[in-house]
Structure 1
Amino acid sequence: MYLINAVANSKTDKVMEFFVKLTPDLQNQTEWKDWFVLPYIKNPEENPTFSLHFTKQWQDTLLVSLHNFLASIFQYMPLPTLLNYEEDANRINKLEQRNESLKNRLTLLIDRGSESSVTPVQVEPPPHLLDDFYIIAQENNIGDTQAKSLKNLIRNMGTASSPILGRKDNAGTRKRTVSGKNVKAPHFNES
């Protein structure tokens, strides 16, 4: 397209400059073999090799294809961080306004003093504001409680509180079930 526009606008110096700069890259590519004669042909729009490229239909098709290609690339690429600046600035402004509003409410509640009963509310921070250290701290707390419960389990294994080990009869009596009710049966000694 660049070469066709340069030839159509009689910019032979641009065509020559193109080939001087890109000949080392293009000379081994077979699809470019015919293009090296372009600067030396009179009326290349009439030459069967190049006539297609001078038509409006080919140029429009190339531009539409290029537009579609770039649109699909930009659609799937993540936005650069710099483009999120305006969205982030709006979010910060909203948060600052909300913060100021909450400060004003708190000031009013403090000024009322004992007239009103204020109950504190635990508010979890939004997930996007949590950092890795907060998550690690939470994981350590879970690990500590698991380690403590494991230690307690090991400590209690040999004691009478175990459901299996160390089970004792209650004062020489055994329980027997009669029609769904527990009944104490006397312990018979066979002497």
Structure 2
Amino acid sequence: GWWGNKQGLQLGIKYIDVFKVKNLDFQAEMNVMRPYTYSHNDTVANWSHYNQPLAHPFGANFFELIGILRYQPAYRWNIELKYIYNRQGLDSAGENFGSNILLNYETRPRDYSFYIGSGIPATVVNTTAYLSYQLKENFFLEGTIMYRTFTLQDPTAGTTKTSSTTYTFGIRLNMFRRQYDY
């Protein structure tokens, strides 16, 4: 649990035509990042650009699982189901547990006993369903439903759980879909 063990791991797999079902694809990814991984004692030298983490949107000190199932049941139709689970150890007021890469790592409370998820445990779960129909070439009608939960287990304030559901419908013309997963 030494704070200076700065490592991360990313594993992924993609399976095309799952169980020989044409146009049914599965993708899975796992991301793990130890505390303080992209931080620095000189806050200008951390691994960020315009104060945004470069390697991963969550910064450091997290565990993440992603599962995506894509299916094209018929010409012009696309369906996508996505599940994202993230568990991160957040900083408390005045204590740096290594999730915020913009903080100086010399402000840590100790040198040992830092593990993935150290700090205040926070869990984010995103579940998304997407449906698209290509009306004409490069002209899409699409809809998305996203359900998101956020659970914070603060030892002093107790457990806080919030959830939200987002519905989007739109027309997309000759451009890639924007992803709002985080």
What TM-score comes out, normalization by structure 2 length? 0.20
| Structure showing greater Rg | 1
Query: Which structure is higher in RCO with an 8 Å CA cutoff and minimum separation 6?
Result: 2
Greater helix fraction, Structure 1 or Structure 2: 1
